[in-house]
Chain A
Amino acid sequence: MKLDPRVKMALAVCLTIIVFLPLSVYGIAIYTAISIIFSLLLQGLSGTLRSLRSLGLFLVLIILMSPLMERSGQVLINLGAFHLLYRDGLVLALATAFRFVSISMAFSSLLGSSTQIEILMSLYALGLGRRSCLVISLTLSFIPFIGESFKRINESQKLRLGEDGHFSRWLFASLVSALVMTLRSTAPRAMALESRGCMLTGKLTGLVKLQSPLRAVLQTLALAAGFAVSYIGVRLI
């Protein structure tokens, strides 16, 4: 599915807001399913699975830690004399996990299905200043750079250590090295920014042709209306 990046941004914002409105855990689950469907439509199955995989560790932490925060309601699991899991704790854990997945999928489908320049031009069209655009542009270009550096450094360590290397040692050394590389590249990158006129004021253009603002506004309104109607529906159910 092709959507204007501005509409995708509105979609991500709507999904983020709606899962924090008063809803039952079932309601939040429905919106999580909707966010996954949008992700499938926008970035395909492989992109969606990749995003979901990257959330795995955090989801485990949420599921393990959240029930301990809420200790009221019906006791579901006892560990001897200790009440391990309460019903409200389970609901809180599920709601937090669903919200986390929903927001992550909304933004990963925005980032996964748009190029850096599309996002930049959309933010600029929405009235964001040149300097703010520059910060976002840099952030978006640094993410793949750090990712690539981390991957290469990790590979290099594997080649050096083979099976003798310990995972934590690899991870720590690779992370530190990727950050050192990033820090060292700051000066050349700043030079590149200057030499490409990124600090100039005035109109910003790019290869991306955004659709007409009216169409984007209409699509966003339709999307917002859809969410409003669905919210009422979910509340009534």
Chain B
Amino acid sequence: MKSLAVNNLSFNYKGCQRTLDGLSLKLERGEKLFVLGLPGSGKTTFLRCLAGFLPAFVKGDIEGSAVFEGKELLNADTQSSLGTLSLVGQNPEEQFLCTTVSDELACAFGNQGMPVQKLGELVDWGLAAYDLEKQRNQDLLSLSGGQKRRVLLAIDAMLGCPLRLYDSFYDGLDEKWKAIATRSIIESDATCICMSSRIDQSARLFSSFALLKDGKLTRVPDFQSLEARVDLSIQPGLQRRQREPVMLQASDLEISYRGGFDLKVPSLRVRTGETVGLFGENGSGKTSLARVLCGLDKVRSGKVICESRIGYLFQNPDYQIFLPTVMDELCYPSKPARLSRARKARVEEALKAFGLAPDAIATMLPPSSRKALQAAVYYVLDRPICILDELEASLDFQSAMRMLRLLESTGAGILLITHDKALQSLCSRVYQIEDGIVKEVVHEA
């Protein structure tokens, strides 16, 4: 019996071209579908249409139908979908409604009047299943990217809806949690659709696969066929510009974080012209270390030495975009009209290299272009050392690698924080966080 039937679904945002163009899909009850789609292919739009959020919350035109277990989903009252479908969105911070982890987990059930004792038991289960017990009373905004994602996955598992939708499924999760989250989906009875811009080996466990391209969904027979369509080829690095050598050096660092971990960094070095990896599990302190290296946070002991200012690409590009247009953003702090000839040439080079339109409204760009803008800013600033914190979020491998290669071409030393194995292979040296200690490990580039 068909559980979900989507017929000729088309959607366009008001005044824009079609994002979804006659998309059709049929899923059996309990089928788990993994959908691969490049950034901007319409993954989020498709899931939001199914959840009834479009065009209810963002204006646009919708056509077609989507029926789940005999119930029409498109344009449905979202209240009536409660208990039927759940959606884990792309950016966790925009979905949090409470201030602490346990309250967030309880929120949906408290709204339905679940008795306090039962609610407590359910929250305890969610915290234990997603290893969030230590973070029970922690401020949600102080969690690491992966922990925030786990909070949403815990809520989703607790809701236990028969139709579950996941956007940017693997973003922010480390290898261990990618596998656990995938297994938890596979073992459930629910019909699931997981969208991702990157392919991961854990996705092998899914029962069916599809590719989202040009607003249409194409089924592929198996994981291998999907993998074959993904370009994981490594592009050779661009010629690195020779520049004055600069070294970022940290020694005997001890970092404490309000989330409860202590991190020790006996020694860490990044020189201009090299790409160094920093890997570790979710919540192990990668971002905290990056913040210390940039001088944003203080350390308990130890020292960080760098003769130059460091560039730091945050996990969330939205924090680094604050001006109206792409051009304004790249020229900041100067005005576009007042740029020196050399700087103007650099900005134009960045626009071309990162595929950005100068007059585009910066904050309205799709996530992948916002990420590109964030990288382009530091390309123009030409810092000798750059820290890239989970560059791969919202990007496919090729886009992430292109950005990395462009930043490398400035001759800068790059400290790459990533969970993506393919990107990890591009590093010449690697530091790993294990048991709260940062160690240099043997690595094959």
Q: Does B141 make an interface contact (CB < 8 A)?
A: yes
Write out, one digit per residue, whether chain A residues 175-192 have a CB within 8 A of any chain B CB (1) or not (0). 011001100110111111
Q: Are B110 and A162 in contact (CB under 8 A)?
A: no
Q: Within 8 Å CB of A192, what residues of B?
A: 89, 94-97
Q: Within 8 Å CB of B86, what residues of A?
A: 195
Q: Does A50 make an interface contact (CB < 8 A)?
A: no
Q: Are B103 and A117 in contact (CB under 8 A)?
A: yes
Q: Within 8 Å CB of B93, what residues of A?
A: 145, 185
A137 to chain B, nearest CB (A): 7
Q: Does A196 make an interface contact (CB < 8 A)?
A: yes
Partner of A197, one of B100, B112, B296, B318: B112
Q: Within 8 Å CB of B114, what residues of A?
A: 205
Which residue of the partner chain A has the closest CB to B317? A156
> How far is B25's CA from A119's CA once the two chains are assembled, in angstroms?
45
In the complex, which range does the number of interface residues on chain B fall in?
A: 35 or more
> How far is B113's CA from A203's CA once the two chains are assembled, in angstroms?
5
Q: How many residues of A contact B (CB 8 A)?
A: 53
Q: Within 8 Å CB of B96, what residues of A?
A: 141, 145, 192
Which residue of the partner chain B has the closest CB to A187? B57
> How far is B310's CA from A202's CA once the two chains are assembled, in angstroms?
53
Query: With contacts A159-B311, A165-B333, A207-B120 known, is A197 near B108, CB below 8 A?
Result: yes
Which residue of the partner chain A has the closest CB to B58? A187
Partner of A204, one of B51, B113, B296: B113
Q: Within 8 Å CB of A137, what residues of B?
A: 97-98
Q: Does A174 make an interface contact (CB < 8 A)?
A: yes
Q: Are B103 and A115 in contact (CB under 8 A)?
A: yes
> How far is B108's CA from A199's CA once the two chains are assembled, in angstroms?
11
Write out, one digit per residue, whether chain B residues 48-81 have a CB within 8 A of any chain A CB (1) or not (0). 1001010001100000000000000000001101
CB contact list, B280-323 vs A, under 8 A: 294, 296, 309-312, 314, 316, 318-323
Q: Does B251 make an interface contact (CB < 8 A)?
A: no
Q: Does A37 make an interface contact (CB < 8 A)?
A: no
| SS class, residues of chain A in contact with chain B | helix
> How far is B334's CA from A169's CA once the two chains are assembled, in angstroms?
12
Q: Does B257 make an interface contact (CB < 8 A)?
A: no
Q: Does B17 make an interface contact (CB < 8 A)?
A: no
Q: Within 8 Å CB of A162, what residues of B?
A: 309
Q: Are A205 and B119 in contact (CB under 8 A)?
A: yes
Q: Are B108 and A196 in contact (CB under 8 A)?
A: yes
Partner of A190, one of B57, B309, B332: B57
Q: Does B106 make an interface contact (CB < 8 A)?
A: yes
Q: Are B106 and A206 in contact (CB under 8 A)?
A: yes
Query: With contacts A191-B48, A195-B78 known, is A156 near B119, CB below 8 A?
Result: no
Q: Within 8 Å CB of B296, what residues of A?
A: 155, 158-159
A18 to chain B, nearest CB (A): 30
> How far is B297's CA from A159's CA once the two chains are assembled, in angstroms?
12
Q: Does B263 make an interface contact (CB < 8 A)?
A: no
Partner of A195, one of B82, B91, B119: B82
> How far is B93's CA from A182's CA once the two chains are assembled, in angstroms?
11
Q: Are B106 and A141 in contact (CB under 8 A)?
A: no
> How far is B146's CA from A46's CA once the two chains are assembled, in angstroms?
30
Q: Does A235 make an interface contact (CB < 8 A)?
A: no
Query: With contacts A160-B381, A197-B108, A206-B106 known, is A180 near B363, CB below 8 A?
Result: yes
> How far is B364's CA from A180's CA once the two chains are assembled, in angstroms?
10
B346 to chain A, nearest CB (A): 15
> How far is B87's CA from A196's CA once the two chains are assembled, in angstroms?
10
> How far is B91's CA from A91's CA once the two chains are assembled, in angstroms?
52
Q: Does B107 make an interface contact (CB < 8 A)?
A: yes
User: Which of B82, B95, B111, B323 has most A Cβ within 10 Å?
Assistant: B111
Q: Are B319 and A149 in contact (CB under 8 A)?
A: yes
Partner of B319, one of A152, A176, A187, A209: A152
Q: Does B154 make an interface contact (CB < 8 A)?
A: no
Query: With contacts A117-B103, A137-B97 known, is A191 near B57, CB below 8 A?
Result: yes
Q: Does A85 make an interface contact (CB < 8 A)?
A: no
Which residue of the partner chain B has the closest CB to A210? B116
CB contact list, A178-237 vs B, under 8 A: 180-181, 184-185, 187-200, 202-207, 209
A194 to chain B, nearest CB (A): 4
Which residue of the partner chain A has the closest CB to B320? A156
Partner of A153, one of B107, B115, B310, B322: B322
> How far is B89's CA from A193's CA once the two chains are assembled, in angstroms?
13
Query: With contacts A189-B97, A195-B51, A199-B79 known, is A207 near B102, CB below 8 A?
Result: yes
Query: With contacts A198-B111, A205-B116 known, is A160 near B98, CB below 8 A?
Result: no
Q: Within 8 Å CB of A116, what residues of B?
A: 98-100, 103
Q: Does B326 make an interface contact (CB < 8 A)?
A: no
Q: Does B401 make an interface contact (CB < 8 A)?
A: no
Query: With contacts A160-B332, A169-B333, A206-B106 known, is A177 near B322, CB below 8 A?
Result: yes
Which residue of the partner chain A has the closest CB to B112? A197
Q: Are B78 and A188 in contact (CB under 8 A)?
A: no
A141 to chain B, nearest CB (A): 6
Q: Does B412 make an interface contact (CB < 8 A)?
A: no
Q: Does B132 make an interface contact (CB < 8 A)?
A: no
Q: Does B415 make an interface contact (CB < 8 A)?
A: no
Which residue of the partner chain A has the closest CB to B83? A197
A172 to chain B, nearest CB (A): 10
Q: Does B123 make an interface contact (CB < 8 A)?
A: yes
Query: With contacts A197-B111, A204-B110 known, is A152 near B95, CB below 8 A?
Result: no
8 contacts between A and B (CB under 8 A): A137-B98, A145-B96, A185-B94, A189-B95, A191-B87, A191-B95, A198-B97, A207-B120
Ranked nearest first, the 7 interchain pairs of A and B with the lowest CB-CB distance are A177-B322, A203-B113, A188-B94, A152-B319, A197-B111, A196-B108, A194-B78
Q: A137-B98, A191-B48, A195-B86 are in contact. List 8 more A-B contacts (CB 8 A).
A: A116-B100, A174-B322, A199-B79, A200-B79, A205-B109, A205-B115, A207-B102, A207-B123
A contacts, CB < 8 Å to B: 115-117, 137-138, 140-141, 144-145, 148-149, 152-153, 155-162, 164-165, 169, 173-174, 176-177, 180-181, 184-185, 187-200, 202-207, 209
